[in-house]
Structure 1
Amino acid sequence: MLLKASSQSLTDQLAARFGERIRNRLLAAGARLPSVRQCAEQQGVSPSTVVAAYDQLLAQGLVEARKNRGFFVREAAVQEPAPGRAGPPQPPSARGPAPVNATSLIRGMFHRASNKPQPGMGVLPTEWLESTFLPAAVRKVTTTPSLHSFSLQYGEPLGDAGLRQALATKLAGLNVPVPADHIITTVGATHALDIVSRTLLRPGDPVMVEEPGWAVEFARLSALGMHLLPVPRRADGPDLQVMAKYCAVHKPKLYVSVSVFHNPTSYCLSPGSAHRLLQLANQHDFHIVEDDTYSHIAPAHATRLAALDGLQRTIYVGGFAKILAPNWRIGFIAAPEALVEPLLDTKLLTTLTTPALLEKALALCIDQGQLRRHCERIRTRLDLARSRSVKLALQAGCRFVAEPAGLFGWVDTGVDTDALSQRMLDEGYLLAPGALFHAQREPSTLMRINFATTQDAAFWKKYGELVRRM
């Protein structure tokens, strides 16, 4: 809340609040600020105070005024570092496009709005991930005689052999048979996706992506200069007619997909759609990157493209940040034989090798069944959380546009969720508005909720209050 007793004027406080959010990218480029009247009502100040605050933001180059439309965050504003944190200035030509849609969420993970549960977060709460077996595995690995040798030299190019064998066994349980020497470890799943993109694509290449889809992937591919081709994602899989048209006109080289518990809808690919998709890939000669980030909370029998085609057209990507240890940054690629060496070359050029110590500790957790038991506990806890969250969301007037499943709910609020997210940020809650999950940001009434962090009745009460005022 703005404080009338503060040494700062209400105008300065309001301008500082918006300025901080813009610099931290909690307000993305192109985001519309509340109208003068709306902002005055929300903050309990006069319209003249809001006008003066917006004038300050205009003078600072953080927003722009569009005639008869209002005030919008400037593209250049989110590329400028906050005062006091900058290095030497770069010419505009030296800066790449800021992936603001994604970073507004990512930065929210590090610039928490408050200590309240955050509905827009894309991860499980830290207390859910706590365990005794992780530190025990690290202790065991660091006390072995081999610690000295593998700490003082680079690791194996493909990654720790023990972990790759453990991953091969684990994938076999998902009906994805792959030899250990066709697996490459990476610095997280995002790094795995980046290796694939840098290996198979060149700037300007067309890439098919699911829409709605993962904001980070849109931003990452855009930053690499790729031409994004959004494919509508339906309950059973991608819109194959749209894909066929793209193939005929653009000849894309790659399609990026989340088959199981798709983000943000939690849809799962159907067997029929999977077969038709693989036929299309063979017909038009493109590869499919299957990002199975949520495999640890998904049923083993769920349809996976890599299982159906035996890693011919499909490149399988996985990781452990969502379920086990985010800061360990361990991911992997399971690839067709012909792509292993090209992908490995890209890995060596970007990171040389990956740290063996944590890879060995993870292998121990997998081999001893600790990861499996941990995942079972998480799934049970998530099922209970989802049930509570769905009940609270429905009571608050939300409508689920996708069947509740997995970690995320895709809900219709009936109001502009960009505007709603700004108002909820004032109350200490970070939302994930629907516009973030589209390749081109557009107003949306949808939002993604995290079932693990939306069990708080206080959040839904505040949400309901604000929606009724909009």
Structure 2
Amino acid sequence: MGRTRTEQLAARFASRIRDHLLPAGTRLPSVRQCAQQQGVSPSTVVSAYDQLQAQGLIEARPHRGFFVREVVARRLQGEAHPAPVPFRAAPADAAPGPAEGVRDERSAAAAAMRNAPSAASLMRGMFNPISDKPQPAMGMLPSAWLQTDFLAAAVRKAATQLHEVTAFYGDARGDAQLREVLAMRLQATQVPAQAHQVITTAGATQALDIIARTLLRPGDSVMVESPGWSVEFARLQALGLRMLPVPRGPEGPDLAVMARYCEAHAGTPQAPRLFISVSVLHNPTGYCLSPASAHRLLQLAHAHDFYIAEDDTYQHLAPEHMLRLSALDGLQRCIYVSGFSKILAPGWRIGYLAAPERWLEPLLDTKLLASLTAPALLERALAHCIEHGQLRRHALRVQAQLDAARSRSVRLARQAGARFVAEPAGLFGWVDTGVDTERLAQVLLDDGYLLAAGALFDPERAPSTCMRINFASTQTPEFWRAYERARERV
């Protein structure tokens, strides 16, 4: 027997909730909006929402609407008890951003709690696509672009030394040959790193995690860019850190806001200890740091004694001449982070950091506690690819493909009425849709598209009309036609 429309609609929402595509705290469309979007009667929606409430998946909040229950996320993750909320909102005297008012601490904490499952939902959707269509929310290049012959050949060559590189734990800092090669690459970009200052990691994400765990303690303050990377926000919240949002513009971070944070808490335990920044091809805007902003930022860091984690994840997609903070700073207050997942093979998970001398041993201790050692065989193979210029040539080919894809995607986006907030560059575009993109994302799920809504990139999960698109996966008319249809239904 076929299911009724009510049962079909309830099952559709239930599936998305259980798959974390509608994370805890998500507001569902109003009865009227849902009826219009799904082409059913309001009574069908009311009955479907009643079923979802009976299953414990959503709750009705008076005068606000229907929301995915927080308890669902904990139950689905196997947690027997509510997890503590580690986030502490910045007080009113901590220099909120230009258009921000004073926010209630409890509501900010609730927003922070919602951000973690939202970031996880985006990652789940990226790792387990909801359809076979190219996904605008993807954070990586198409797998076909990353197919090469030289990777397999490099692994075979490294395997001839299999016993040598795998029979022992090896050097906890990483394969010596790879660290030498990486140091030479950094020196070519004016970052004065020696091989002993390089520590390999399981991707750039682990490098950032090692830095936070080494330099910070629960309750410490860390400045983050807004908009910024949702997964990084969720990870910092899980560590119990106090995030201070810094608006990011075309030239760099808002230095006036950073100065106010530092001055408001000078000499106290709440003084910012770390700033995390993507200086080149910022995610999600594509902005690059200007020399003038970089110089003033380093002056501020020296004056107020905080460190900078420079995330250069997208280095292989950027022009070689772009300025790095770590080069200007000489690795005094900057810790440089990068990796190869974006350009080479996401499954390899090889990243690295280059740090000031005084932090090398503490950072290494943190790595040892987390992973003991490194995947020596893959690191040796990667060293071979870099030494023989194969990675550089591959990166140039990918850059050419991305340039062409970006041109097509931008043209289609503008034809569809989308407006780019930032000049398109790199892998991602930051697009203003003119409508709430969390609602837009829900509608696009019906067409099999996972959207990266702008709220995901705000540390406090504020509603946004912006979305992040991947140029490589939005260069065909099909997505933009679905976008136009969905926008009309929001």
TM value normalised by structure 1: 0.95
Distance 2:16 2:128 in 1: 10
Q: Any conservation in 1 of the 2:119–2:230 contact (CA below 8 Å)? A: yes
State whether structure 2 residue 265 is matched by structure 1 residue 275.
no
Distance 1:105 1:367 in 2: 35
Distance 2:487 2:65 in 1: 21
Q: Any conservation in 1 of the 2:430–2:469 contact (CA below 8 Å)? A: yes
Over aligned residues, Cα RMSD in angstroms?
1.5
Distance 2:166 2:302 in 1: 44
Partner of 2:196: 181
Please say which of residues 111-120 and 271-280 is displaced more in the overlay: 111-120
> Which of these residues, 129, 138, 159, is aligned with residue 155 of structure 2?
138
Post-superposition CA distance 1:199-222 (Å, at most 9, x none): 000000010000000001100000
CA positional deviation for 1:174: 1.3
Post-superposition CA distance 1:28-53 (Å, at most 9, x none): 32221111122122222222221111
Q: Any conservation in 2 of the 1:114–1:429 contact (CA below 8 Å)? A: yes
Instruction: Report 1:426-441 matches (<5 A).
Output: 426-441=446-461
Distance 2:13 2:297 in 1: 45
TM-aligned CA distance change 1:364 to 1:232, over 3 Å: same
Q: Any conservation in 1 of the 2:28–2:68 contact (CA below 8 Å)? A: yes
Distance 1:417 1:203 in 2: 32
Instruction: Report 1:86-165 matches (<5 A).
Output: 90-93=80-83, 99-142=116-159, 144=160, 146-165=161-180
Q: Any conservation in 2 of the 1:260–1:269 contact (CA below 8 Å)? A: yes
Distance 2:22 2:264 in 1: 36
TM-aligned CA distance change 1:20 to 1:155, over 3 Å: farther
The one-letter amino acid of 1:296's match is: H
Instruction: Report 1:59-458 matches (<5 A).
Output: 59-81=54-76, 90-93=80-83, 99-142=116-159, 144=160, 146-250=161-265, 251-458=271-478
CA positional deviation for 1:263: 0.4
Q: Any conservation in 2 of the 1:173–1:300 contact (CA below 8 Å)? A: no
Distance 1:48 1:160 in 2: 64
The one-letter amino acid of 1:92's match is: P
Q: Any conservation in 2 of the 1:155–1:355 contact (CA below 8 Å)? A: no
CA positional deviation for 1:291: 0.2
State whether structure 2 residue 34 is matched by structure 1 residue 51.
no
CA positional deviation for 1:93: 4.7
Distance 2:85 2:65 in 1: 28
Q: Any conservation in 2 of the 1:15–1:57 contact (CA below 8 Å)? A: yes
CA positional deviation for 1:92: 2.6
Distance 2:462 2:82 in 1: 26
> Which of these residues, 443, 455, 462, is aligned with residue 482 of structure 2?
462
Partner of 1:3: none
Q: Any conservation in 1 of the 2:158–2:380 contact (CA below 8 Å)? A: yes
Post-superposition CA distance 1:370-404 (Å, at most 9, x none): 00000000100100000000000000000111001
Distance 2:361 2:26 in 1: 43
Distance 2:84 2:407 in 1: 49
Give ranges in structure 2 of 5+ residues lacking alignment.
87-112, 266-270
Identity of aligned residues (%): 65
Partner of 2:103: none
Post-superposition CA distance 1:254-302 (Å, at most 9, x none): 0000000000000000000000000000000000000000000101111
Q: Any conservation in 2 of the 1:382–1:452 contact (CA below 8 Å)? A: yes
State whether structure 2 residue 8 is matched by structure 1 residue 13.
yes
The one-letter amino acid of 2:426's match is: G
Give ranges in structure 1 of 5+ residues lacking alignment.
1-5
CA positional deviation for 1:14: 1.6
TM value normalised by structure 2: 0.91
Please say which of residues 171-180 and 255-264 is displaced more in the overlay: 171-180
Give the SS at the match of 1:92: coil
TM-aligned CA distance change 1:304 to 1:437, over 3 Å: same
